[in-house]
Structure formats: C-alpha cells, structure tokens
Amino acid sequence: MKTREPRQKVLIRARLRGPDGWHDACILNISSRGMLLQVAEPPARGSYLEIRRGSHVMMARVVWAGGHRLGVRMQDLLCIDAIVGEPDSANPDAAVRIESCIERRATPRASADAHEQSRWRAHAYQFVWLVMIAASAAMLASARSNRRSRSRWPRYARRSHRASCP
C-alpha cells in the first residue's frame, strides 16, 4: 500500500468552478498532489474542477465526495507554501471579477425571443429553398417530356406536315 503524502492542515478560502458554475469553497488540508475541500454542494465523483486561490489557478478531478466535503487530485504538483502564503483578497468584489474574466463572449447571449425568431427565420429559409428546388425539378421534368413528345413522330411525318403548311 502506498504511503500517504504529508498533508498540511489549513483553513483557506477559495473559489471552485465545477460543472454547474462557480461556488465558494474552503481548503481544509493540502498536499502536493491534492486537497480536502468543503463546499455547500459537492460535485459528483469524476468531475473536473477549476480551483482559484488568489492568483493561483489549479485544475483537479474529484476523487471522492461525501457530505459537504470532497477530495481532489490535482493535475499538476502544487507549491504548498505559495498557495498558503498568498494573501486573502480583502475586496468583496473579487468573486465578481473572477467570473467576469472567465466570460469569453464580448456580448451576452441573446434572449429566448431572439432565439425563437432565429429558428423561425431558419425554417422560412429552408422552406423557400425546398420550394425552389421542387420548382426547378418540375421545370426540368417538363422540358424533358416536351422533348420526348416531339420525337415520337417519325421524321417523314413531321416533314410532310411542314411541307403542307404555307
């Protein structure tokens, strides 16, 4: 059986981004390869998380979860002293700043009405294209049938008919 890495007991605030968004978290202990976290709603086992503590951004996978606690294994080795020594942000707007820097869109998403209008417009374009294709196919079929009907008469019959016309 593997020996456990030494863990350092701490009580550090952090932010956690899981499958369902950002949450506050508390780091209870830390080692070079993992952490014990306490959160209000722990994510499912196997979920990937982004943990932020000051200027540190760490990626982790949930190894176990129970109650309000979870254990995570880090993607990279951690420098414990740097994470523990990072000063706490005294600004209450720090969480808002973290979320705003994650937002990659220049403008927010369109509303549900705009989405429905876009869907309606797409259906209308699709209908127009289908009508145009059907009309083209009908014209092509009509042109072919006209060519066939002319060629049904033998040549001598067509010539004699033309000769009798003034």
Do 43 and 94 sit in the same domain of this protein?
A: yes
Q: What are the tens digits of pLDDT across the range 124-137?
A: 999 999 999 999 99
Do 22 and 50 sit in the same domain of this protein?
A: yes
For residue 64, the cross-strand partners are 71
Do 12 and 91 sit in the same domain of this protein?
A: yes
Residue 47: what are its φ and ψ, rounded to 5°? -70, 150
Roughly how many angstroms between the first and final C-alpha of the chain, as a whole number? Answer: 111
Spatial contact of 102 and 17, defined as CB atoms under 8 Å apart: yes
For residue 22, the cross-strand partners are 17
Do 75 and 133 sit in the same domain of this protein?
A: no
Least confident of 46-50, 132-136, 154-158, 159-163: 159-163
End of a domain among 76, 102, 128? 102
3 belongs to a structural domain:
no
Do 42 and 79 sit in the same domain of this protein?
A: yes
Q: What are the tens digits of pLDDT across the range 53-110?
A: 988 899 999 999 999 999 999 998 888 888 888 776 544 444 444 444 444 556 666 6
| Residue 45, domain extent | 8-102
Number of domains the chain is built from: 2
